[in-house]
């Protein structure tokens, strides 16, 4: 049996915050300006340029795949997202008050991402993950009752290099009858579980699989419509029925069709 791996936790169990953290003045910040991002760094300009280029690519891909690309002025000019890159983990932890295992943090309301220089993991995993969180929340807002599996699933699915493994492991879990039901996912409070708990890993993996299923099976436009219904105040089942009237009428039907998809 293929076992779920810890990396489905985010990118090492990143904490997501909605309040602003003070930005520590390590030294004078240098700034790079892109169309949708402002990069602040203190030393390694080559890495900062790579972050900016990757961020712009991820933004376009995420906005397109999740059906949000219709926003012509989304994240431009004074609405650009700020990315702070600290030179070392210690500076990052001091500035953001994150635990030792955290590799990055997103501030939803102030549209900021903070991390430190750790090239490969940051560029391939944390950066698309956090951009997806911010894009999703900008689109859907903060007032809607959004299930955690949807929020996390969007961010996990944005990490493209994980997708094939998500499909393989989710199918293996189904084969071994160890998938969590959608009802269990709705009720499970993963914040009360340890970061290495097997259930947490399965939860994140399944969240990515569910979002991937909705996008790959029914398309980005329908997924955007589903999110729009939630944004406008509809409950989860009502939003599903409205966005997928021919295929999904309630949570049970969503689960049934998702399981069928995993068998294909």
| Mean pLDDT, residues 156-175 | 95
206 in the same domain as 105: no
**Residue 73: its pLDDT value, please?**
56
32 in the same domain as 127: yes
177 in the same domain as 109: no
User: pLDDT tens, 220-229?
Assistant: 999 999 999 9
Q: What's the domain count of the chain?
A: 2
| Mean pLDDT, residues 200-204 | 91
Q: Which two tokens stand for residue 134?
A: 């911010």
Tell me what the pLDDT averaged over the chain comes to: 85
134 in the same domain as 65: yes
Residue 73 CB contacts under 8 Å (≥ 6 apart), including other chains: 79
Which domain covers residue 191, as residue numbers?
A: 147-263
160 in the same domain as 109: no
User: pLDDT tens, 123-139?
Assistant: 889 999 999 999 998 88
SS3 sequence of the chain:
CCCCCHHHHCCCCCEEECCCCCCCCCCCCEEEECCCEEEEECCCHHHHHHHHHHHHHHHHHHHHHCCCCCCCCCCCHHHCEEEEEECCHHHHHHHHCCCCCCCEEEECCCCEEEEECCHHHHHHHHHHHHHHHHHHHHHHCCCCCCCHHHHHHHHHHCCHHHHHHHHHHHHHHHHCCCCCCHHHHHHCCHHHCCCCCHHHHHHHHHHHHHHHHHHHHHCHHHHHHHHHHHHCCCCHHHHHHHHCCCCCCCHHHHHHHHHHHHHC
Q: Name the residue with higher pLDDT: 63 or 103.
A: 63
CATH of residue 40's domain is 3.30.2010.30
User: pLDDT tens, 227-248?
Assistant: 999 999 999 999 999 999 999 9
Domain boundary among 86, 106, 140: 140
Domain boundary among 90, 119, 140: 140
Minimal CA–CA distance to 56: which of 123, 140, 133?
123
Task: Return d(Cα 132, Cα 137) in angstroms, integer.
Answer: 8
Q: Name the residue with higher pLDDT: 185 or 16.
A: 185
132 in the same domain as 188: no
């Amino acid at each position: 049996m293929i076992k779920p791996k810890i990396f489905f936790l985010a990118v090492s169990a990143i904490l997501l915050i909605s309040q602003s953290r003070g930005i520590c003045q390590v030294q004078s910040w240098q700034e790079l300006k892109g169309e949708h991002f402002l990069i602040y760094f203190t030393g390694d300009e080559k890495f900062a340029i790579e972050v900016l280029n990757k961020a712009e690519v991820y933004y376009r891909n995420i906005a397109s795949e999740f059906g949000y690309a219709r926003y012509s002025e989304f994240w431009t000019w004074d609405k650009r997202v700020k990315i702070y890159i600290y030179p070392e983990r210690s500076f990052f932890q001091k500035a953001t008050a994150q635990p030792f295992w955290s590799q990055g943090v997103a501030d939803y309301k102030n549209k900021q991402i903070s991390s430190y220089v750790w090239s490969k993991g940051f560029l391939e995993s944390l950066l698309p993950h956090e951009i997806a969180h911010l894009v999703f929340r900008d689109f859907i807002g903060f007032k809607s009752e959004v299930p955690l599996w949807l929020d996390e699933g969007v961010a996990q699915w944005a990490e493209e290099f994980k997708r094939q493994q998500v499909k393989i492991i989710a199918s293996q879990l189904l084969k071994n009858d160890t998938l969590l039901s959608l009802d269990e996912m709705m009720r499970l409070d993963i914040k009360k579980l340890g970061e290495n708990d097997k259930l947490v890993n399965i939860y994140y993996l399944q969240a990515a699989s569910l979002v991937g299923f909705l996008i790959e099976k029914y398309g980005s436009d329908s997924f955007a419509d589903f999110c729009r219904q939630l944004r406008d105040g509809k409950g989860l089942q009502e939003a599903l029925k409205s966005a997928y009237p021919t295929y999904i009428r309630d949570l049970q039907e969503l689960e049934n069709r998702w399981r069928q998809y995993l068998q294909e």
